Amino acid sequence: MKGPLLLLLLWLAPLPATAQDVDADAFWGAQIARIDIELARLANAAQPGPQMYFVGFAGFGEERVFAEEIALAAQLVGARYRTADRSIRLVNDRRDLTAFPLATVPSLRHTLVGLGKILDQDDVLFLALSSHGYKKAALSINNTGMADTVLGAGTLAGMLRDSGIRWKVIVISACYAGGFIDALADNRTIVITAAAKNRTSFGCSDDRHLTYFGEAFYRDSLPDAANLRAAFEAARREIRKREKQERVTPSQPQAYFGPLMESKLYEIEAAQFFGK
């Protein structure tokens, strides 16, 4: 069996248990084909004027909390910035291996480069990542039947440069996520992280629907905040209070607000909410 039908069957099938179960090139080719379908959908949803596009990345598939956090992020960012029709999720989740393209380094690179060909010069990328994190500024990538890998800060920065996307909001929910800021920050980028580069965050377990950061930022702060900076500050206060009550070492969420990106967000929100 060859051609598109084989790719479709490979995409719908669970991940192979061993390398002998299915041709690896064909399997990952099917993953890229699935992303291309999503990118074509986004291209058809483009509208005049500055628009925001959402990419969600749930890296660690052995615990449900990351997939559920990215699902909520897609919902609430969609409601605030009208990205529902301009949204792609890359998700590792052992409970469901077929609902979304898998979250891998190649799939994220392909998505970002593809988006770079769709976005206009004034459009904005909202990139939400959620996973376990490591001290050397890296996110864990893990799923049933897939070898463990990592996404490093330098690799992510290189992907974004290669994509040509100018305007970016990047939110990283992970331990030690503050280590990503130096590699990603510039005047046209906002970077928000769940923890400082030398601190862990909390709530990353399989018995939770959201991390502490996901609850404080996406669920409790983003919907009603005046702007993204206000949402971050409200979330940081809430997290500080919770961690003090629980007597744990503070995670110290960090952020860098590129001044040009803040102005761009104001422009987008004014156009959406006030018709300006």
At 205 the pLDDT is 74
User: What is the model's pLDDT at position 25?
Assistant: 74
Q: What is the per-residue pLDDT for 23?
A: 65
Would you tell me the crossing angle of helices 105-116 and 24-44 to the nearest 10 degrees?
Answer: 30
Q: What is the dihedral of CA 114, 146, 97, 52, to 10 degrees?
A: -30
Amino acid at 4: P
- Residue 182: count other Cβ atoms within 10 Å of its Cβ: 13
d(C-alpha 189, C-alpha 112), whole Å: 15
For the chain, residues with pLDDT lower than 70 are 1-24, 272-276
pLDDT score of 12: 41
Rounded Cα–Cα distance for residues 30 and 188 (Å)? 34
User: In one letter, which amino acid is 105?
Assistant: V
The confidence score (pLDDT) of residue 7 equals 38
Closest by CA to 192, choosing from 216, 208, 224, 210, is: 216
What pTM value is reported for the model? 0.89
Instruction: Give per-residue pLDDT as tens, 79-117.
Output: 999 999 999 999 999 999 889 999 999 999 999 999 999
The per-residue pLDDT for 145 is 83
Residues 208-217 pLDDT 10s: 788 999 999 9
Can you read off the two tokens belonging to residue 12? Answer: 């719908």
Relative orientation angle of helices 105-116 and 153-163, to the nearest 10 degrees: 30
List, in order of start, the domains of the chain with CATH numbers.
50-274 (3.40.50.1460)
